[in-house]
Amino acid sequence: MVQETATQRLSRLLTMVPWLMNRQGVDIVEAARELGVSQEQIVDDLQLLFVCGTPGHYPDDLIEASWEGGRVHIGNAEEIARPLRLGRDEALALIVALRALTTTPGVGAQDAIERALAKLEKAAGEAGSAAAAQVSVSLEVGEVEHQRLEQIREALAGPRRLHLRHYNPTRDETTERDVDPMRVLSLEGRWYLEGWCHRVEDVRLFRLDRIEELDLLDQDGTPPPQARPRERGGSAFQSGPGDVLVELELAPSAAWVAENFPMESVERREDGSLRVTLLATDVAWVRRLVWRLGGAATVLAPHELAEEVRSGAAQALESYRVD
């Protein structure tokens, strides 16, 4: 069973409340079917709604939920049941974002985007549309990335599987993979392909400028049911259950490491040195980083990694010795 994220559940609850408010006494079986979840999940959601409400924490502030006899009733939730209305700034932000999407190569569903944009512009009026037109959004795409985006868009429309050669700087290796494309993401100023990788049997991100070759295959590219897209966020790095927590001592000359890699914690000293912790999917790149720093970094934990760094450094020094 795929674990549901908090974002996914919140989205369902916000949809469920107005739906139930307009169907008082609906049978719980019908509610589960229409909302696409199990009856057990409906009951679990109702139990959560029962302790939710507006600030104040008094009984009259909480949502009323009952499902006795298999009939669902919701009360004291009028605020949530009302249609959401965008403020002027929110509408302008959406208009600008949608206009940027219409000019971005590799983004599908252009018809839907243009329809949504037309509705927003009409609702915002002439003043709102004019204000949005004064804002320019530029998502830089190189020539090679543009070509890759067009290929991915064609693959998504199929859907068709992709075969690619991808360079991984962390391991300093190039691998060939078959990937079922899911979507294209722009993270931290870079374009990524997100898809189901058949080499590792899991969802992976591939930076477009590191894809050396990309070919469309005459195979169905529909991702399997267990392929779940990553949570939207600003970072391309996401931790996993197999990651290793690494603790480093950094000299002042190596302080730049804390600014260029995702850190779990950073402790700064008065002398400019740092004590940092980070999560590493593969500790090989940490070993290379410490060797590269040439004594400006010390591995404090885990002990096995510290021994690997010490042993590798000793072997390198031994090769320079002359009889």
pLDDT on residue 163? 95
pLDDT at 1 over 50: no
- Tens-place pLDDT, residues 205-252: 898 888 999 999 999 999 999 888 866 554 545 555 567 888 999 999
Q: Which residue has the higher pLDDT, 140 or 7?
A: 7
Q: What percent of the chain has pLDDT over 90?
A: 17
Looking at the domain that runs over 244-318, which CATH code has it been given? 3.30.70
pLDDT at 138 over 70: no
Least confident segment among 55-59, 93-97, 135-139, 171-175? 135-139
pTM of the full structure: 0.46
Query: What order do you get walking across the sheet with 265-268 strand by strand?
Result: 265-268, 274-280, 244-250, 297-301
**244-318 shares the fold of 6-81:** no
pLDDT on residue 145? 75
pLDDT on residue 168? 80
Average pLDDT over residues 275-283: 83
Mean pLDDT (the chain, rounded)? 79
pLDDT at 190 over 90: no
Fold of 143-220: SH3 type barrels. (2.30.30)
Dist. CA 244–CA 281, nearest whole Å: 6
Residue with tokens 């009856």: 39
Residue spans of alpha helices (H) in 110-223: 110-133, 143-157
Average pLDDT over residues 291-301: 89
Average pLDDT over residues 251-266: 85
Average pLDDT over residues 154-177: 86
Dist. CA 193–CA 187, nearest whole Å: 11
Angle (CA) 168-292-165 rounded to 5° is: 10
91 CB-near residues (< 8 Å, 6+ apart): 120, 123, 124, 128
CA-nearest of 138, 231, 238, 156 to 193 is 156
Q: Would you kindly state where each structural domain of the chain is located, as residue ranges? A: 6-81, 88-133, 143-220, 244-318
- Cα atoms in the 13 Å half-sphere on the side-chain side of 265: 8
pLDDT on residue 242? 65
- State whether CATH 1.10.287 applies to domain 6-81: no
pLDDT at 117 over 70: yes
